[in-house]
Amino acid sequence: MELTGQPPEHAILYRRVVADLIDRFRGVVGEDEVRAAVREAHAALVGRTRVMNFLPVLVERYAKEQLMAQTQADGRASKPLPELLFVCVHNAGRSQIAAALARHLSGGRVNVRSAGSAPVGEINPVVAQVLAERGVPIPDAYPKPLTDRVVRAADVIVTMGCGDECPFVPGKRYEDWAVADPNGADLATVRRITDDIQVRITGLLAELLH
């Protein structure tokens, strides 16, 4: 599969990505839809990824997530668990903290996604450090853009600093949390922000999973 601006040696990797996703979604998603999702994922991430050798892996993960969200939103796939979506501006701090803590504290009883209205190239390293201190490492996390698909697939959408940018879908539960931005903050401040988010996550999970 040829994608604009990619090294020739990546072509075989993207063909493999497409083949794997076609196999993964066989009987649910058509081949053309898979190819379109891979192209869209590449276009969304190519300008933000700092290490180009990692891009095919991220494209596969992002395309898979978008296809899963699409099939959940339109009823082609079931949703056995509550779907939570956390959104902030850059998807590098607050929404990553919230998503990581929700996964960890729920014990696998919810499915979690995160996104940013204007995502950047990498996770805030201080955020990653603070989460690792709490036994919640996020080595595979990466910033990704907000799409209508993930909003429509979600049951609960939590925004932090970007509520006006999030599409409104009737019937969804929306919450806007006034949480400080960890961008540029020191370690102690990020720890306090994480404490704040953890309290909110604990309350949300208690309500959803009681």
What pLDDT is stored for residue 49 in this prediction?
73
Give 210: exposed, middle or buried? Use CB within 10 Å, 0-12, 13-18, 19+. exposed
pLDDT tens, residue by residue, 95-116? 999 999 999 999 999 999 999 9
3-class SS at 164? Answer: helix
CATH number at residue 64: 1.10.8.1060
Helices (H), the chain: 11-24, 31-45, 55-73, 94-106, 125-133, 148-153, 187-209
**Regions of the chain with pLDDT less than 50:** none
What per-residue confidence (pLDDT) applies to 2? 64
Buried b (16+ CB within 10 A) or exposed e, 23-55: eebeeebeeebbbebbbebbebbbebbeeeeeb
Domain stops at, among 37, 52, 78: 78
pLDDT of residue 37: 98
pLDDT value of residue 5: 62
How many domains are contained in the chain?
A: 2
**Claim to verify: residue 42 and residue 89 sit in the same structural domain:** no
User: What is the per-residue pLDDT for 178?
Assistant: 98
Q: The pTM is what? A: 0.94
